[in-house]
């Protein structure tokens, strides 16, 4: 089958978990014998991608310049960069588009894709634009009503990567939305850890948060929980591994106000081929998010046998069961988060049971299983 994947980001030009997910899906479909082509965006200022290493063609469409790093992958494509899109997509049997509220994806859908041969997958409704308030939220609502929501309403098949997202999409569109989770490739420590990350870990026992430093990830709650825990264990630290997406200064200020500035480290984003080393050394992984569409970090922690405490929200609830393979707390409940962390640090039996169940959970997220489910939906869309 000739499959066109239309995605908002693709490695190495990627800002989060979406890029590796799209790359894994493309690679799996290609390995299963399909002719895959990937249409994606090139963010303003991104270096040359070097796409010749992929076993399938990748075409990148330049975006307009972003007005804030938080919206880097949300920007519309440059009109002058769309000239080659139609020719690149020609001959596709089915079009699989990913990402709700992404101007690049919406543009391709509305002008270059036959809706009756499209499969659309939502990875979550935009959080910042919806919740910012004021002119930004109003502008997003207008865009969504006129332009953005068409992809959800008109695609031949609609899917979501978690039960929460399927419910949201069904409520917004009134149509059936199937749940097809992301697959997962277990982390491997395939490269030596950079000495600067090693130095951070050598400073003492630490909790680990992984992800972009932004409001959505709720890292302020993790810092507040650390302040509570250090009253009992002054050596405990927190490492927030992720690049700054607008929140680092505020997090540093919070740590300073709470008297734990020296105990919170911001080493930046750790390369994927190195981050397994960081997971392995962590006392506990903390997923403190206000909203999670899927939660790759939870699976990453489980794949390395590290106990995970997480917000009971969104896609986390499809992956984690409280007391079985993780400990869960209500979003923003700092005291409950601190209590969960304390439990896994002091109860070796609980920690071992959670780790074992976590490893078993990871085995349920095979990319081949995910690809088989999509192949069935491609058959529907290509008829």
Q: Do the Cβ atoms of 297 and 320 come closer than 8 Å?
A: no
When divided into structural domains, the chain yields a total of 2
CA atoms of 277 and 198, how far apart (whole Å): 9
For residue 289, is it within any domain?
Answer: yes
Q: Are residues 136 and 229 in the same domain?
A: no
Task: Read off the pLDDT band of 69 (50, 70, 90).
Answer: low
In this prediction, residue 67 carries a pLDDT of: 61
Query: Do 105 and 211 belong to one domain?
Result: no
Q: CA 161 → CA 156, 180, 193, distances in Å?
A: 17, 5, 32
Q: Is the pLDDT of residue 126 over 80?
A: no
pLDDT digits (tens, 9 = 90+) for 327-342: 999 999 999 999 999 9
Is residue 113 located within the same domain as residue 254? no
Please check the confidence at residue 191 and state whether its pLDDT lies above 60. yes
254 located within any domain = yes
Residue 43 lies in domain: 2-183+366-382
Q: How many CA atoms lie within 13 A of 161 on its CB side?
A: 29
| From 122-126, 135-139, 255-259, 313-317, the region with the lowest mean pLDDT | 135-139
Quick check: is 190 in a domain?
Answer: no
Query: Do 358 and 373 sit in the same domain of this protein?
Result: no
- Asked whether residue 71 carries a pLDDT value surpassing 70, the answer given is no
Please tell me whether residues 71 and 142 are part of one structural domain. Answer: yes
Same domain as 62, residue 175: yes
* Residue 376 and residue 264 share a domain: no
Identify whether 189 is part of a domain.
no
* CATH number, residue 245: 3.40.50.2000
Predicted local confidence at residue 310, as pLDDT: 97
Q: Which pLDDT does position 129 carry in this prediction? A: 57
pLDDT of residue 51: 77
Q: How does residue 192 score in pLDDT terms, banded at 50, 70 and 90?
A: confident
Higher pLDDT, 23 or 73: 23
pLDDT tens profile 293-324: 899 999 999 999 999 999 999 899 999 999 99
327, 355 in Cβ contact below 8 A?
no
Residue 188 lies in a domain: no
pTM summary value: 0.88
One domain for residues 170 and 266: no
CA-closest candidate to residue 285, choices 185, 183, 187: 187
Same domain, 353 and 372: no
Do 171 and 289 belong together in one domain?
no
> Do 320 and 231 have their domain in common?
yes
pLDDT surpasses 70 at 73: no
Q: Does 372 lie in the same domain as 296? A: no
* pLDDT given for residue 75 in this prediction: 77
């Amino acid at each position: 089958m000739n499959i066109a994947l239309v995605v908002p980001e693709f490695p190495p030009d990627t800002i989060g978990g979406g890029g590796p997910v799209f790359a894994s899906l493309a690679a799996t479909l290609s390995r299963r014998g399909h002719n895959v082509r990937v249409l994606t965006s090139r963010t303003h200022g991104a270096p040359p991608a070097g796409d010749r290493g992929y076993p399938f063609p990748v075409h990148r469409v330049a975006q307009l310049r972003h007005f804030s790093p938080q919206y880097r992958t949300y920007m519309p494509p440059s009109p002058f960069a769309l000239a080659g899109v139609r020719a690149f997509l020609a001959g596709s049997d089915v079009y699989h588009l990913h990402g709700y509220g992404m101007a690049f994806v919406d543009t391709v859908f509305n002008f270059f894709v036959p809706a009756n041969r499209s499969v659309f997958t939502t990875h979550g409704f935009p959080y910042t634009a919806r919740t910012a308030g004021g002119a930004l939220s109003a502008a997003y609502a207008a865009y969504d009503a006129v332009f953005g929501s068409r992809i959800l309403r008109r695609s031949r098949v609609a899917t979501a990567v978690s039960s929460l997202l399927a419910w949201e999409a069904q409520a917004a569109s009134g149509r059936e939305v199937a749940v097809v989770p992301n697959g997962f490739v277990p982390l491997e420590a395939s490269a030596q850890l950079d000495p600067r990350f090693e130095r951070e870990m050598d400073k003492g026992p630490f909790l680990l948060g992984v992800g972009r430093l932004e409001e959505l990830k709720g890292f302020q709650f993790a810092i507040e929980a650390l302040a509570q825990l250090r009253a009992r264990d002054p050596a405990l630290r927190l490492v927030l591994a992720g690049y700054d997406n607008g929140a680092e200064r505020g997090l540093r200020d919070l740590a300073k106000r709470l008297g734990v500035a020296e105990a919170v480290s911001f080493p930046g984003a750790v390369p994927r081929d190195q981050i397994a080393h960081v997971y392995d050394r962590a006392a506990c992984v903390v997923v403190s998010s206000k909203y999670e569409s899927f939660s790759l970090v939870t699976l990453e922690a489980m794949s390395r046998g590290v106990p995970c405490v997480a917000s009971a929200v969104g896609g986390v609830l499809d992956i984690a069961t409280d007391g079985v393979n993780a400990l869960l707390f209500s979003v923003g409940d700092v005291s409950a988060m601190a209590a969960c962390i304390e439990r896994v640090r002091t109860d070796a039996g609980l920690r071992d049971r959670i780790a074992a169940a976590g490893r078993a959970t990871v085995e349920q997220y095979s990319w081949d299983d995910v690809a088989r489910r999509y192949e069935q939906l491609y058959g529907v869309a290509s008829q």
